[in-house]
């Protein structure tokens, strides 16, 4: 797949997930929102915009999903499969800066890297507790019938939002 096609597929993948949650989970606030930098001195010159792909929120519970459509869901260094480090740094940064916005309020902010599943033998499926937040790395199998794709997305919502119900 050439670069432009891969970019289009990535954007379509992000948009599909975002619109799925908008349509089926009206009790969640669903957006692709910007996350402001938590700056001690207020000086943010030259800092990049933090643009989330999917931001799900119910009260003070937040799940930030960074949708990734890559031909390789892991990177290999010295014959060892690892997560793409830049992706992990990115979602961690989003989560910590979003959490900061709550100040002293109780909150639960989690992040997820959601890769489109490939045919590679090794697929990421991990949950990490990092500095007080849950960061998970999952794959979404798009080679399934739609009802099974929907089930995967529903399981993500149910795992992060207690008692959340899907609209019929």
Q: Residues 62, 108: contact at Cβ < 8 Å?
A: yes
Q: What percent of the chain has pLDDT over 90?
A: 79
> What's the pLDDT score for residue 77?
84
From first to last of its 168 residues, what are the pLDDT tens digits of the chain? 565 677 888 999 999 999 999 999 999 999 999 999 999 998 999 999 999 999 999 999 999 999 999 877 787 888 888 888 899 999 999 999 999 999 999 999 999 999 999 887 788 899 999 999 999 999 999 999 999 999 999 999 999 999 999 997
Judge residue 143's burial from the number of C-beta atoms within 10 Å of its C-beta, 0-12 exposed, 13-18 middle, 19 or more buried: exposed
> What's the pLDDT score for residue 52?
97
How far is it, in rounded angstroms, from Cα 62 to Cα 135? Answer: 12
Judge residue 85's burial from the number of C-beta atoms within 10 Å of its C-beta, 0-12 exposed, 13-18 middle, 19 or more buried: exposed
Q: Residues 68, 112: contact at Cβ < 8 Å?
A: no
Structure tokens at 40: 């001690």
| Domain boundaries, given as residue ranges, for the chain | 3-37+47-160
> What's the pLDDT score for residue 100?
96
CATH entry, 3-37+47-160, from 3.10.450, 1.20.120, 3.40.50, 3.40.1350: 3.40.1350
The three-state secondary structure class of 49 is coil
């Amino acid at each position: 797949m050439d670069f432009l096609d891969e970019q289009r597929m990535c954007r379509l993948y992000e948009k599909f997930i975002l619109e799925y949650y908008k349509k089926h989970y009206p009790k969640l606030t669903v957006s692709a929102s910007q996350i402001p930098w938590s700056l001690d001195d207020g000086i943010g010159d030259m800092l990049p915009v933090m643009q989330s792909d999917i931001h799900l929120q119910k009260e003070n519970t937040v799940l930030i999903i960074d949708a990734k459509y890559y031909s390789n869901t892991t990177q290999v260094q010295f014959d060892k499969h690892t997560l793409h480090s830049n992706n992990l740094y990115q979602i961690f940064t989003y989560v910590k800066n979003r959490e900061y916005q709550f100040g002293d309020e109780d909150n639960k902010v989690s992040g997820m890297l959601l890769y489109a599943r490939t045919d590679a033998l090794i697929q990421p499926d991990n949950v990490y507790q990092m500095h007080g937040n849950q960061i998970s790395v999952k794959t979404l199998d798009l080679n399934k019938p739609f009802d099974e794709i929907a089930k995967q997305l529903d399981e993500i919502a149910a795992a992060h939002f207690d008692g959340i119900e899907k609209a019929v």
